Amino acid sequence: MTLDSPRCGIYAIVGRPNVGKSTLLNHLVGQKISITSRKPQTTRYKIHGIAQHGTTQLVFADSPGWQRQPQSKLHKLMNQQIDNALHEVDAVLHIIDVAGWHTDDGAIELMIKETARPSILIINKIDRLHTRDGLLPLIAKLESEHVYPDYFPVCALNGANIPGLLDLLAARAPQRPHLFAADDVTDRPERFMVAELIREKIARQLGDELPYATHVVIDTFVTRGGVVHIDATIWVEKPGQKAIVIGRQGQRIKQIGSSARLDIEKMLEQRVYLKTWVKVRGKWTEDPAALEIFETPE
Ligand SMILES: Nc1nc2c(ncn2[C@@H]2O[C@H](COP(=O)(O)OP(=O)(O)OP(=O)(O)O)[C@@H](O)[C@H]2O)c(=O)[nH]1
Ligand SMILES: [Mg+2]
């Protein structure tokens, strides 16, 4: 290999639910790839985000938040996504919240050790510290109790320290051909991204329990006369949930649809006509057909 050989690093982003993994992925890539919300378990499917750093390509695998006791088949599959993200990478980014180390982080640390991959402990949400003086004692404590080769504080929300993280990862990227084209930002198709953007609005606008009971399927995705026509079905498990998603006089579903449409138009850079339906299918979280989407495209 010469000095001019291409470099491409592959990294898994793992951590507990809600620590800011997807927000970090979006900031690393420089655009919205993975949906985010203040509710835990927003990310369901492994998704790759791709960044170009000079001539180096950086590929990040976002994953669902790790769950200690997954109950449904859906939740077990979510944990499996983390496991398979861990085994295909050059290094692992373990994200924790600046609030501190949680016992479940210990389980994640063990999973990382079993892969024998290098790792970086990323301390996110440093904007929540009242003063920066709080950071050094936290890092000192983490260093005394763990053996991560690197500890890296960031704010995924406002981007603090993210350029430094990108520099570090690019400097360590191994020499290998790029896996993706220079203008690719994700491995997932547009249909998947559209369904995810709708799911994000559901997560953001509905009560705490409901987002986990919903699943979005894109039934039609066609361009006619310069407008993208999309039909989407939001599947829920119970009739009561359907009423909540629709809302009084259809207000809630209208809001979900219009905010999703704005994001979809931004992503596709085209006008979008989005129609949504809400339908009931009991126990879809146990239904193999509904869970097929977990198969990551190769
Ligand atoms: N204050 C602050 N909030 C953040 C930061 N990073 C993420 N958040 C917020 O934390 C919440 C969770 O962020 P996500 O990126 O969805 O977290 P996640 O780890 O991907 O969550 P799951 O996919 O559910 O496991 C959202 O409300 C984010 O806006 C940060 O650096 N500072
Ligand atoms: Mg996420």
pLDDT at 297: 41
- Whether residue 181 is contained in a domain is answered as no
Average pLDDT over residues 275-290: 83
pTM: 0.94
What DSSP string describes 164-200?
HHHHHHHHHPPB---SS-TT--BSS-HHHHHHHHHHH
Same domain, 200 and 164: no
Cβ < 5 A residues, ion ligand 2 = 21-22, 42-43
Using the predicted structure, report yes or no on whether residue 218 has a pLDDT greater than 70.
yes
pLDDT at 208: 78
- Whether residue 55 is contained in a domain is answered as yes
> How far is residue 244's CA from residue 211's CA, in Å, rounded to a whole number?
11
Domain of 218, in residue numbers: 190-294
Total domains present in the chain: 2
- Whether residue 241 is contained in a domain is answered as yes
Write out pLDDT tens, residues 50-101: 999 999 999 999 999 999 999 888 889 899 989 888 988 999 999 999 999 9
The closest residue, in CA terms, to atom 21 on ligand 1 is: 18
Ligand 1, closest atom to CA 23? 15
Same domain, 68 and 112: yes
> How far is residue 93's CA from residue 257's CA, in Å, rounded to a whole number?
34
Average pLDDT over residues 243-249: 94
C-alpha separations of 114 from 94, 107, 147 in Å: 14, 11, 14
Q: What is the mean pLDDT of the chain?
A: 92
Query: Which ligand does the CA of 94 lie closest to?
Result: 1
Nearest to 80 by CA among 67, 92, 90: 67
Displacement of CA 266 from its chain's centroid (Å): 19
> How far is residue 97's CA from residue 203's CA, in Å, rounded to a whole number?
21
Same domain, 161 and 28: yes
Per-residue confidence band for 22, with pLDDT thresholds at 50, 70 and 90: very high
CB of 23 shorter than 6 A to ligand 1:
yes
Q: What is the 25 CA–ligand 1 centroid distance (Å)?
A: 10
CB of 17 shorter than 6 A to ligand 1:
yes
pLDDT at 211: 73
